[in-house]
């Protein structure tokens, strides 16, 4: 199986579940740095280009948690593949602003910033989003931000579609000239190398969970091959394919028409992780604090489980049985999730030690309708307070047909407290998590009804 590494066609002879970073460094690509090996720091960032309708779409991803199977037939660009005779404007801006100190993280920043200019979906003001997955241990952030903002002002490729965008970036010397021939080369590669993927094995989606847990994935079965991604509507539901990335969920027009997904999901991991991580991975990973699970539990989501022959549709809340035990059979995959597409009141809250790029201590979401001032169709969820992502059934039932008042919220808090069983761990004591859940239930109502008067 083959891929293009910078300008060279490479044949892969090793297990497809190995980390791309390990492969690159063994090949002598030492500009791709190894530090956390958990997708947290961005020193190993590469561009990954995929042929779509004769154009190549690039994204900057952390190569440490990118399995080799995901680069087959694609274009991988390391810092070596961005270097030109003279410094590119991105490299020059980092030098000019004094943004490179020890230099260890600098290649990762250059790759992420290049990814920003290649990404049609990131607006100009979002240049800082593109580097939110990069850490600088020297703390040169002020200088890095200055350099990034200067670049966003000076270089404009907005409203340019893929092919013209790449041409423009070559003219601006952000990209070397060889990028213009990559679509042809990938087209040829596609014709010459049909991939022989396994029929049986272990499902892999974005691998952002799996490659953190394991050094290499055995018998990987890549779900990206199955074309389960995308968001679409029918009269009753919004359907989200299991391999839809977290970032595509965040920016989805369909979802943002009903909820504040753009803001809410920006609290989940970091931009490069969101580009790679999928909805299905979040659901099946079954972390008790999985943000998307908590989000969709409160929207009373249903999921479809499919094997070779059958499909069954169940409530997401019935999927989780015990810690990491789910109602899923061998050979079944989650292929989509659906939620009702009617407008409703909805709020998501997440408390973590850092506001961004951190997993939750406790997270919670709520949805309901208001009919003659009475709560209807209430659904409340909370993470970090039980062995499973918790659908708070008793509290949701209690809220039904109630008018919103301080007394009702207080009683809801007492019932919610009786439904949970948090434990002491690195994210906080059980007592603290109970307190957080109380505060988040108040926060839901105060966010949805800012005029509400309650004494906390
Ligand atoms: C740096 C970093 C930050 C993170 N921050 C957060 C955060 O803020 N919030 C959060 O919730 N999570 C966070 N995560 C955890 C993780 O990335 C997510 O849970 C992610 O959604 C997993 O998705 P994936 O596609 O990468 O799953 P994978 O790692 O590919 O798979 C996870 C599990 O799900 C199974 N699986 C995947 N898809 C399917 C399917 N369709 N059907 C059946 N089984 C399937 C796989 O077999 C595997 O067992 C973070 C991870 C990293 C590395």
Residue 334 tokens, joined: 């989650």
Q: How many CA atoms lie within 13 A of 111 on its CB side?
A: 31
Which of helix, strand or coil describes residue 439? Answer: helix
205 lines ligand 1 (CB under 6 A): yes
Residue nearest to atom 49 of ligand 1 (CA): 285
- Answer for the pair 300, 318: CB distance below 8 angstroms, yes or no: no
Read off the pLDDT band of 199 (50, 70, 90).
low
- Answer for the pair 279, 246: CB distance below 8 angstroms, yes or no: yes
Give the pLDDT score at 161: 78
CB neighbour class for 440 (10 Å; exposed up to 12, middle 13-18, buried from 19): buried
What is the percent of the chain with per-residue pLDDT over 70, rounded to a whole number? 98
Q: Where do the domains of the chain lie, and which CATH numbers do they carry?
A: 2-192 (3.10.20.30), 227-448 (3.30.465.10)
Span 42-55, average pLDDT: 94
More confident residue, 201 or 276: 276
Q: For residue 6, how far is its CA from the centre of ligand 1 (angstroms)? A: 28
38 lines ligand 1 (CB under 6 A): yes
CA–CA distance, 156 with 152 (Å, rounded to integer): 7
Rg (the chain; Cα; Å): 23
Q: What are the backbone angles phi and psi of residue 61, rounded to the nearest 5°?
A: -135, 160
359 lines ligand 1 (CB under 6 A): yes
CA–CA distance, 385 with 396 (Å, rounded to integer): 16
333 lines ligand 1 (CB under 6 A): yes
Pocket test for ligand 1, best of 43, 248, 285 (most atoms within 8 A of CB): 285
Residue 350 tokens, joined: 């997440």
Cβ neighbours, 10 Å, residue 377: 17
Reported as a single tens digit per residue, the pLDDT across 268-317 is 999 999 999 999 999 999 999 999 999 999 999 999 999 989 999 999 99
CA–CA distance, 69 with 220 (Å, rounded to integer): 8
Pocket test for ligand 1, best of 64, 208, 349 (most atoms within 8 A of CB): 208
Q: How many CA atoms lie within 13 A of 177 on its CB side?
A: 1
210 lines ligand 1 (CB under 6 A): yes
> Does the pLDDT at position 197 exceed 70?
no
24 lines ligand 1 (CB under 6 A): no
Question: Of all atoms in ligand 1, which is nearest to the CA of residue 357?
Answer: 8
Pocket test for ligand 1, best of 41, 216, 265, 281 (most atoms within 8 A of CB): 281
Residue nearest to atom 47 of ligand 1 (CA): 203
3-state DSSP helix/strand/coil % of the chain, to nearest 5: 40, 20, 40
Alpha helices by DSSP H, 286-386: 291-297
């Amino acid at each position: 199986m083959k891929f293009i590494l910078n300008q060279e066609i490479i044949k892969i002879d090793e297990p497809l579940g190995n980390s791309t970073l390990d492969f690159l460094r063994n090949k002598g690509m030492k500009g791709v740095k190894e530090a956390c090996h958990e997708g947290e720091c961005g020193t190993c960032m590469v561009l990954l280009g995929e042929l779509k309708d004769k154009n190549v779409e690039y994204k900057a991803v952390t190569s440490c948690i990118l399995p080799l199977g995901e680069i087959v037939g694609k274009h991988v660009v390391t810092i070596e593949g961005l270097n030109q005779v003279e410094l590119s404007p991105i490299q020059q801006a980092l030098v000019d602003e004094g943004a490179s100190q020890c230099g260890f993280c600098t290649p990762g920043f250059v790759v992420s910033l290049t990814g920003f200019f290649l990404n049609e979906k990131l607006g100009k003001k979002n240049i800082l989003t593109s580097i939110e997955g990069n850490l600088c241990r020297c703390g040169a952030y002020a200088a890095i931000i200055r350099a990034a903002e200067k670049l966003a002002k000076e270089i404009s490729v907005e409203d340019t579609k893929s092919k013209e965008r790449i041409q423009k970036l070559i003219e601006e010397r952000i990209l070397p000239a060889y990028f213009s021939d990559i679509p042809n080369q990938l087209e040829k590669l596609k014709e010459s190398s049909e991939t022989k993927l396994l029929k049986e094995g272990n499902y892999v989606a974005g691998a952002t969970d799996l490659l953190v847990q394991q050094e290499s994935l055995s018998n990987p079965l890549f779900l990206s091959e199955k074309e389960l991604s995308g968001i679409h509507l029918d009269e009753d539901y919004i359907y989200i394919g299991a391999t839809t990335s977290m970032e595509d969920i965040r920016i989805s027009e369909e979802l943002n028409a009903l909820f504040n997904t753009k803001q809410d999901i920006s609290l989940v991991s970091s931009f490069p992780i969101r580009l790679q991580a999928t909805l299905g991975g979040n659901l099946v990973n079954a972390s008790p604090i999985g943000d998307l699970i908590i989000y969709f539990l409160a929207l009373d989501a249903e999921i479809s489980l499919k094997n070779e022959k059958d499909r069954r549709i169940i409530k997401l809340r019935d999927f989780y049985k015990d810690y990491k035990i789910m109602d899923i059979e061998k050979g079944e995959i989650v292929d989509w999730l659906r939620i009702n597409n009617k407008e409703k009141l909805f709020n998501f809250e997440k408390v973590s030690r850092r506001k961004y790029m951190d997993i939750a201590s406790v997270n919670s979401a709520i949805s309901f309708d208001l009919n003659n001032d009475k709560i209807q169709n209430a659904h409340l969820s909370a993470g970090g307070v039980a062995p499973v992502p918790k659908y708070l059934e008793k509290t949701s039932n209690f809220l039904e047909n109630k008018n919103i008042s301080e007394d009702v919220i207080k009683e809801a808090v007492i019932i919610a407290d009786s439904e949970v069983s948090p434990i002491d761990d690195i994210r906080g004591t059980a007592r603290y998590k109970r307190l957080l859940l109380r505060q988040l239930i108040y926060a839901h109502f105060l966010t949805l009804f800012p005029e509400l008067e309650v004494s906390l």
